[in-house]
Amino acid sequence: MTRYDSTSSGNDATGRHEPATFVVTGCAGFIGSHVVEALLERGDAVRGIDSFTDYYARGLKQANLAACTRDPSFMFIEADLCDAQLDDLVDGAAGVFHLAAQAGVRGSWGDTFAVYAQDNIVATQRLLEAAVGAGSRVAFASSSSVYGDAEAYPTREDAPPHPISPYGVTKLCCEHLAGAYADSRGLDHVILRYFTVYGPRQRPDMAFARIVRALVDGGTFSVFGTGGQTRDVTFVGDAVAATIAAMDRGQRGAIYNVGGGSETSLRDAIEIAERLSGRRLDAHHESVATGDVGRTAADTSRARRDLDWKPRTSIEEGLRQQLAWAGIDAAAAAEGSRAGSPPS
C-alpha cells in the first residue's frame, strides 16, 4: 500500500484536521487516484471527475478507483472537462486538484497535437473559469517538461522555461493561463512541476512501468537512446504529499518543483529493477525520441521551505513497491538469489 506523509495543513490550532470538500480532475489516473485516496484517508470528501480517455485502457483506470468507490465520502462523475457543467461540479469545493491532462511527450507531435490542445489548454481554461466563480483554490499539475533542456542543474523554479515538445508547451500555456486568471480575475492557485513520478499504478506507457511489465511478462523493453539519460525520479507517495501540502499551505501563485532527489540513469534503473526482481530484462535500443530531454534534476528547496516537505522514498524502495504491485515479491526474489536460484 502506498504511504503518504500527511503532516500538512488543513489542521486547526490543536493539530486536528478540519475536513473539507475537494474536486480531483483526472481522478482515475495514476497520480489522481492516489490523491483521492490520501484525501479520503484524512477525512475529506472528494468529487472525482474523469472522462476515461482512450490513452490507455479504461479497465486499468477503473481498477485505480476500486477502493475509493467503496467510500461514501467519494462521489465519481464521468465527464469531459471540455463540455461538462463545471460550475455545478466545483460549487462549494474548498479546492480543485487539476490533474487531468493528455500526457506523453512522444505522442504530442503531428495531428494528435489537437488532442493535447483540447484536453490540456481548453479544459484548463474552462476549469479556471469555474474555480474563479466558486472561489476555489486550484492546485495545477504541471511538468518538468516546461524546462526543456535546462540551463542549470538542479533546476530552480525561476529558470527560464524552454519546452522542447508540444506537450511541454501545453503545460506552460496552462501555467500562463492560471497566472492570467490570478492577475485579472483573482484566482487563488499553486502550480506543481512534477519530475518523473513513478510507483504503483504508473501509466503503462512510462519507462518504469514498461520495465516492470517486461520483467513480469518476460517481454522486451525498448531503450530510447543509450540509456545514459537521467531523470530526477519521484515516488508517487512523495508527489501526493507535496501536492496536498501545496493546496493546504502553498503560497498563493507559487510554483513548486516536486522531485524525488534520486537522479538516476535509465541504465541504473534497469539494474536496480533486475536486482530487486531477480530477473533479467530483455532490452533493445532504439533512436532517441524527439522531444526527450537528456537530464532532469529538481531544486526542491522552495517546497522544503514553504511546505515543510521533502521526498522520503528511495528509488530502491519505490521500485520495490512498484514491483510488488505488479506481482513480483522483491524480498522473495532477493532470498532466491542468495540461495543460488537462477534469475527467471
Write down the pLDDT at residue 289: 83
Place of cell 495531428: 111
Q: Is the pLDDT of residue 117 over 70?
A: yes
pLDDT tens, 201-233?
999 999 999 999 999 999 999 999 899 999 999
Q: What is the DSSP letter of 312?
A: -
- For the beta sheet containing 45-50, the strands, ordered from the edge strand earlier in sequence to the opposite edge, are 74-78, 45-50, 21-25, 95-98, 137-143, 189-194, 255-258
Write down the pLDDT at residue 5: 60
Q: Is the pLDDT of residue 13 over 60?
A: no
Write down the pLDDT at residue 269: 97
Q: Is the pLDDT of residue 344 over 70?
A: no
pLDDT tens, 284-309?
999 888 888 999 999 999 999 999 99
Q: What is the DSSP letter of 11?
A: B
Its pTM stands at 0.92
Task: Please list the residues that pair with 285 across neighbouring strands.
Answer: 223
Write down the pLDDT at residue 32: 98
Q: Beta strands 21-25 and 95-98: pairing type?
A: parallel
Residue with the bigger pLDDT between 342 and 204: it is 204
The full set of domain ranges for the chain reads: 21-202+234-261+297-312
253-268 mean pLDDT: 96
93-100 mean pLDDT: 98
48-72 mean pLDDT: 96
Write down the pLDDT at residue 6: 45
| Residue 75 · residue 124 · CB < 8 Å | no
Q: Superfamily for 21-202+234-261+297-312?
A: NAD(P)-binding Rossmann-like Domain (3.40.50.720)
Q: Is the pLDDT of residue 135 over 50?
A: yes
Confidence at 183, pLDDT banded by 50, 70, 90 = very high
| Residue 99 · residue 26 · CB < 8 Å | yes
d(CA 74, CA 21) in angstroms, rounded, equals 10
Write down the pLDDT at residue 262: 87
Instruction: Single out the residue of 129, 128, 166 nearest to residue 145, CA to CA.
Output: 166
Write down the pLDDT at residue 343: 42
Write down the pLDDT at residue 335: 59
Write down the pLDDT at residue 2: 59
Q: Is 256 a catalytic residue?
A: no
Q: How many other CB atoms are there within 10 angstroms of residue 13's CB atom?
A: 5
Name the grid cell of 100.
487531468
Write down the pLDDT at residue 334: 57
- Using CA atoms of 243, 238, 195, 111 in order, give the dihedral in degrees to the nearest 10: -60
pLDDT tens, 19-47?
999 999 999 999 999 999 999 999 999 99
| Residue 269 · residue 276 · CB < 8 Å | no
d(CA 9, CA 121) in angstroms, rounded, equals 30
Q: Is the pLDDT of residue 199 over 50?
A: yes
Q: Is the pLDDT of residue 326 over 70?
A: yes
* Secondary structure class of 244 (helix, strand, coil): helix
Active-site position among 167, 181, 194, 256 = 167
Q: How many other CB atoms are there within 10 angstroms of residue 185's CB atom?
A: 12
Ranges assigned E (strand) in 93-214: 95-98, 137-143, 189-194, 197-198
| Residue 223 · residue 265 · CB < 8 Å | no
Instruction: Single out the residue of 342, 256, 268, 236 nearest to residue 307, CA to CA.
Output: 256
How many residues are listed for the chain in this entry? 344
Q: What mean pLDDT is reported for the chain? A: 92
Name the grid cell of 261.
532527489
In percent, the amount of the chain with pLDDT more than 90 equals 87
Least confident of 119-123, 208-212, 223-227, 320-324: 223-227
Q: Is the pLDDT of residue 250 over 80?
A: yes
167-178 mean pLDDT: 98
Q: Which residues contact 104 (CB under 8 A, 6 or more apart)?
A: 55, 167, 205
